Amino acid sequence: MGFVWHVALRYFRSTRADAHIRVLASLTAGGLAVGTAALVLALAALSGFQNHLLEDLVRHTPTLQVEPGGRSGSANGAAGSAAPPVGRVDLVDRVTATEGVAAVQELLYARGWLVDRTGALAVEVVGYEQAPPAWIPVGDAAAPGLILPLSVALRMGLTAGGSARVVSPRAGLTPVGPRPRMRTLPVAAIYDSERAEYEELPVLLPLEQADALFAGGDRRLDLTLAPGADPEEVAADLRSAIAPAEGTVTTWRQANRALLFVLRLEKGLVFSAVALIVAVAAFALLAALSLVLSSKRSEIGVLAAMGAPPVRLQRLFLALGALLSVGGAGFGGAAGAGAAAFLDRFRVISLPSDVYIVDYVPFLVRGRDVLVVFLSTVIFTGAASLLSARRASRLDPVEAMRSART
Amino acid sequence: MIFVAGVSKAYRDGEVRREVLRGVDLEVGRGETAAIVGPSGSGKSTLLNVLGALDTPDAGTVRVDGVELSASRPAALAGFRNRSLGFVFQFHQLLPDFTALENVIMPGRIAGRSAASLQAHGLALLGQVGLEGRAADFPQQLSGGERQRVAICRALMLEPPVLLADEPTGNLDAASGAQVLDLLNGLQRRRGTTMVLVTHNPEVAGRCGRVLRLEGGRLTPERARNRERR
């Protein structure tokens, strides 16, 4: 053991002898324990909630999507024709051929109306290719036809097996002049989703029907990636394969950028608020170290007179600060992580399931969060230690030794 | 070994500027012992602190063991103090959290050596001053004379070429003081260490090769000797 740790450990042991220093050292350790435990728990609770939210988001959002742009997109679609235009076929082929892409589903987005005898209801319409997209929870029972959200079905009095008339705002030319395009389609299925709380749920219909009604709608390619494929890498490959005028590649993270930002902001704000406990503990550490410096002033002077350079005296107090804080911070971190694991495992805190997306408070201890807590504790306690350490290194040895006699 | 030329040092005491050293010149050769005497507040300790690189003069040149102190940076001065100087203070200045042996080997620890490599030499030094059985005792368990003997061992631990002692017997009774002086003189002679000792005790000063009086900020020879007393 070197000089610095040898002396620091001995001074650490001597802190128990002085009642004032012992109280401040206990306050430091206790404050750091409470602070780190609270930080770990708060971040674990947020991570648990956010994890549930993100899992739900990932379930309902394609990992990657390509929005055809310019001439290759909807503008290239032949009006009223169900056959996809040549440019779009080429784009789909190139996307499908990209490494890491397992499947491509073409979707058409438009707005229209569902009409019955009593009136019309404006709805978002999604035309799907082959099977309904994975983010619509209808299972395998859906036969070709309309798939309606439960809220729309209830408002229109529709049930599976019935039929509904879909009207497009795009007019078609008839011998008697322009008339709205409309089709009566069977209701194949009705679905419900927890996402109804924060999003208008769409009416789905097969792509060829949607093409015939809403040929000018916005198109999108939803990509399913091969297992293990990295969305960012596949997105980069796609961007190099597709010119910006041909289409825009968006990852699920980009598509949900605003939400992810809010989640990060929320975590940052909670962290900042709870970290104040650690900051207060760091003040206790500063007071404890100041008291140690005051009581060991003449000894520091003697060490300097014997040739201990200022930088090593500084390190001595940094080491003492670390010794005074490591126990509390370590215990707090471990206790916080243990409590989070227990609360999550046994679902101790319940929530009303009709209000929240989960019926208990989930906790998820992430290594990254623990590292952030550890680093912030090191920064706070390091800053407190550094203030005392700098004062120790600047002590005038003659004055310091004289203080022992006065 | 020690060369001081034109050293001045003043302190500000409120509005009053007190000139403690006024153009002090001093030369002490290798293996020589010099005592600096003078009334209280005459600047003896200040001169010793200047020689020990613990204080900086306002003017003048101080060269100790070939090192120009005024031209050295703080870190270099710390290294110099560790390697080349041994200090014995009036109030032993032992570290209360460390045993007698740990206090003795502390300069070696500061120099970066391991405790194991220093212990044998530290115990031998304690043996030379009759404290081999007190190595594990803490300073508060030792008498005043024993503490000062431990402090002398500490000062000699790294066998520095220069020993600076500030009233080494000033806090001891007559018997302990004489014992410490015998010890200091004996060790100094055996090792050929250059020693500068500050005292206002004429008996202590009389045991040094040369006596210099510091008064009014000036250093004057009170008694010069050609030969060290054996």
Question: What CATH number did the domain enclosing B208 receive?
Answer: 3.40.50.300
pLDDT of residue B200: 81
- Count of structural domains within chain A: 2
Mean pLDDT in order along chain B per 10 residues (230 residues): 91 85 92 90 89 91 90 88 90 91 96 93 90 94 91 91 88 78 82 89 86 89 57
State pLDDT tens for residues A295-310: 899 999 999 999 999 9
A404 touches chain B (CB under 8 A): yes
A11 touches chain B (CB under 8 A): yes
Q: Regarding predicted confidence, which is higher, A354 or A255?
A: A255
| Torsion-angle region of A253 (φ positive above 0: left; ψ -120 to 50: alpha; else: beta) | alpha
| Tokens of residue B55, six digits | 């204080």
Does B81 contact A14 at a Cβ distance shorter than 8 Å? Answer: no
- Cross-strand partners of B27: B3
The reply to whether B25 falls in a domain is yes
State pLDDT tens for residues B24-40: 999 999 989 999 998 88
State pLDDT tens for residues B179-202: 778 888 887 888 888 999 998 888
Instruction: Please report the beta strands in chain B, taking only residues with DSSP state E, as ranges in sequence order.
Output: 2-13, 16-28, 33-37, 59-64, 67-68, 85-88, 162-166, 194-198, 210-215, 218-223
State pLDDT tens for residues A48-75: 999 988 888 887 778 899 988 754 344 3
CA torsion A337-A340-A345-A351 (nearest 10°) is -170
Residue A190 burial (C-beta neighbours within 10 Å; 0-12, 13-18, 19+): buried
Same structural domain, A349 and A322 = yes
The reply to whether B228 falls in a domain is no
A405 touches chain B (CB under 8 A): yes
pLDDT of residue B175: 79
The reply to whether B110 falls in a domain is yes
Closest-CA residue to A186 (of A211, A205, A212, A213): A205
Label residue A9 by pLDDT band (50, 70, 90): very high
A402 touches chain B (CB under 8 A): no
Residues 91-150 of B with CB under 8 A from A: 91, 93, 95-98, 106-107, 109-112, 115
Query: b or e along A265-299 (b: 16 or more beta carbons within 10 Å of the residue's beta carbon)?
Result: eebeeebeebbebbbbbbebbbbbbbbbbebbbbb
Q: Which residue has the tokens 């109306």?
A: A113
Which residue among A237, A252, A267 closes a domain?
A252
Same structural domain, A294 and A204 = no
The reply to whether B158 falls in a domain is yes
| Tokens of residue A377, six digits | 């504790």
Domain that holds residue B108: 2-223
Domain that holds residue A100: 63-252
The Cα A303–Cα A308 span in angstroms is 5
Same structural domain, A242 and A265 = no
Q: Which of helix, strand or coil describes residue A251?
A: strand
pLDDT of residue B169: 82
Same structural domain, A24 and A94 = no
pLDDT of residue B230: 42
Same structural domain, A337 and A382 = yes
Same structural domain, A52 and A104 = no
Same structural domain, A95 and A244 = yes
- Count of structural domains within chain B: 1
Closest-CA residue to A214 (of A105, A106, A119, A81): A81
Residues 6+ apart with CB under 8 A from A326: none
